[in-house]
Chain A
Amino acid sequence: MKTIEQINEKIREGSVCVVTAKEMKDIVSELGPEKAAKEVDVVTTGTFGAMCSTGVFINFGHSDPPIKFRRAWLNDVEVYTGLAAVDAFLGATKPSETRENYGGAHVIEELVFGREVELRAIGFGTDCYPRKEIETAVSLEDLNQAVMVNPRNAYQRYRAATNSSDKVLRTYMGTLLPNYGNVTFAGTGEISPLNNDPEFRTIGVGTRIFLCGAKGYIIGEGTQHSPPFGTLMVKGNLKDMKAEFLKACYFPGYAPSIFLGIGIPIPILDAEIAKSTAIRDWEIKTTIIDFGVPRRDRPVVREVTYAELKSGKVEINREEVRVSPLSSFYMAEKVMKELKRMIEKGEFLLSLPVERLKGKELFKPMKQKEIRIVREFMTKAITIREDSRIEDAAMLMINKNVNHLPVVDDEGILKGIVTSWDIAKAVTKGAKTVREVMTREVITVFPEEPIAIAISKLEKYDISALPVIDSKRRVLGIVTSETISKMLGV
């Protein structure tokens, strides 16, 4: 049994034994947790990944005459100004209003590089803050405070992503190739901070951490904290951060984001903690989920361990699929080594948490007023057969007053669709049967899908109706843009 004070004493003396989480695995398996706990004082853990929930509180100082920001921009990236006069929050994923592939993350990076950024703001023009606008350039040293405060960082583990659809998807998990073309995953597994202290015995409110090269602190559990998918809320001084441990990025089709290097020292107070730092990738489970389904609750494709993900290949439906990480193991290792060096040099002392993080927390979905589903908007589908004559199709459309006829077989299974436009085409072409003019690749929806999905499909493919089908592709009805507009009153 050791105390944090005893470990800090050793750090001051220069006699502390620090190892990285990677090194600790072998030490524990060789010596056992009891002996490992005697030998090792601190284990450094690390992660380096894109963490969207990141931003910086900035105080700009007062202009003359003074201004209270109504709205403000840094390099055309809007910052949040619903605070005191010249305080603002610069969020990493906010896109620039003028520059492509550029956002809050890039502004943060430029500040850390020591570059100047353009500040543009408009004010309210009050008696106490009469100024109505300002344009100037500021660098990090000109700012009174620039404090990184991140609502959610350092995910303990994360769901891996794949894509069953036949389209390329551009997501915050990177580009997902069609038909299970690849898998991407985030998190560093066995070296990731929270996986090494899953009971939150030493990682808690007030724990001093390595945040992008600076000393930072944990200020609470992060948003969406839900162990074993735990998260952290952290803060650190941007002025002390090193460009090496932070990198602005941009996920095409999604938004800007920022790679952060976070390291957490775990004091080895007893054998129990030594044992928890011995966790291996094959013990850390997550799931691969399907982004091909544009819903909140995306279907689970399979369970998987970090060991499998890190191997670079996983099996899905008996086929080998290549895997890409989204977190940099190379940089995470650098973080662990740098933190180890800082502790060995006596530059970094450990702190005791003042409050423990919640061990259990429910991550609830958004409360929505009402989710309207396709079934409510569905009308009866007037169907036709492939071998029907064009004249019959035309007659059916006129008699039933519809513009779309799903084409079905004897079992009612969808084979195609003909529209009044197709009939017009048939006349000019001299086509005789529906088969010759029908569209075979039909865009469809399921009855339980939110109507928003049907609307986005109608817009995306520039069409005016969608057959509603069941899992066997039997036609249940149809939704048309006309019905949707009428019912939603738009």
Chain B
Amino acid sequence: MLLQLLFDSKTVREPIISRVAIKTGVPINILRADVGARKGEIIVEIPDEKSKEIERLFNEMGVEVHEVTRTIARNDNCVHCGLCVSICPTEVFRLNEEMKVEIRTEKCIHCSACIKVCPTMALYFPI
């Protein structure tokens, strides 16, 4: 499961992810981090069965937690050219048997690299 962690000006300075990992013994995979001086947003991947516990711990330590459900989506502008295929760092896109671009949304890490390269502007994050 993917979680979006929102840090405020106080929590952004604390090694909270490490604390949660040590406390739970669960490896936390950081997929994307956008950390500044006053706030931070980090997307992590955690095992589904530990999600309740981890979410509670983050909350206790003052971090806002949201489950990431919105993933990359496409509209019917897509012509299946495949330009996104080699851009995506986690290989979300691949050409299937029919040579159509197939999207494996579960691998999406929200980096939006594909959105910026798609020539027909077919890719977006639904709000």
Chain A residues at the B interface, C-beta cutoff of 8 Å: 48-50, 101, 174-175, 177, 181-184, 247-252, 257, 259, 312, 321-331, 333
Complexed CA–CA distance, A181 and B98 (Å): 26
Q: Which residue of A lies closest to B113 (CB)?
A: A175
- Does B50 have its Cβ within 8 Å of any Cβ on chain A? no
Chain B residues at the A interface, C-beta cutoff of 8 Å: 77, 79-87, 91, 94-95, 98-100, 116-117, 119-121
- The 18 listed contacts between A and B (C-beta, < 8 Å) are A48-B79, A174-B117, A174-B119, A175-B117, A184-B83, A247-B77, A248-B120, A249-B120, A250-B119, A250-B120, A312-B95, A322-B86, A324-B82, A324-B83, A324-B85, A325-B85, A326-B82, A328-B82
Residues of A within 8 A of B85 (CB): 312, 322-325
User: A153 → chain B, closest Cβ, in Å?
Assistant: 16
Closest 5 interchain pairs by CB?
A249-B119, A182-B86, A329-B99, A324-B86, A322-B86
Q: Is the CB of A184 within 8 A of B86?
A: yes
A interface: dominant SS: strand
From known contacts A174-B119, A247-B120, A331-B80, infer whether A324 and B87 are also in contact, taking CB-CB under 8 Å.
Answer: yes
Complexed CA–CA distance, A34 and B33 (Å): 63
Q: Is the CB of A325 within 8 A of B81?
A: yes
Residues of A within 8 A of B83 (CB): 174-175, 184, 324-326
Apart from the given pairs A250-B120, A329-B80, 13 other A-B contacts in the complex at a CB distance below 8 Å: A50-B119, A183-B86, A249-B120, A250-B121, A251-B119, A252-B116, A321-B86, A324-B81, A324-B84, A324-B85, A325-B82, A326-B82, A328-B79
Complexed CA–CA distance, A181 and B99 (Å): 23
B interface: dominant SS: loop
Q: Is the CB of A182 within 8 A of B87?
A: yes
Q: Is the CB of B86 within 8 A of A259?
A: no
Q: Which residue of B lies closest to A246 (CB)?
A: B79
Q: Is the CB of A175 within 8 A of B116?
A: yes
User: B101 → chain A, closest Cβ, in Å?
Assistant: 8
User: A96 → chain B, closest Cβ, in Å?
Assistant: 14
User: B117 → chain A, closest Cβ, in Å?
Assistant: 4
Q: Is the CB of B81 within 8 A of A326?
A: yes
Q: Which residue of A lies closest to B80 (CB)?
A: A330
Residues of A within 8 A of B79 (CB): 48, 247, 249, 259, 328, 330-331
Complexed CA–CA distance, A322 and B82 (Å): 11
Q: Which residue of B lies closest to A333 (CB)?
A: B99
Residues of A within 8 A of B120 (CB): 247-250, 259
Residues of B within 8 A of A174 (CB): 83, 87, 117, 119
Residues of A within 8 A of B94 (CB): 312
User: B106 → chain A, closest Cβ, in Å?
Assistant: 19
Residues of A within 8 A of B121 (CB): 101, 250
Q: Which residue of B lies closest to A252 (CB)?
A: B116
Q: Which residue of A lies closest to B98 (CB)?
A: A330
A259: contacting residue among B81, B82, B84, B99, CB under 8 A: B81
Q: Is the CB of B81 within 8 A of A327?
A: yes
Residues of B within 8 A of A329 (CB): 80, 82, 95, 99
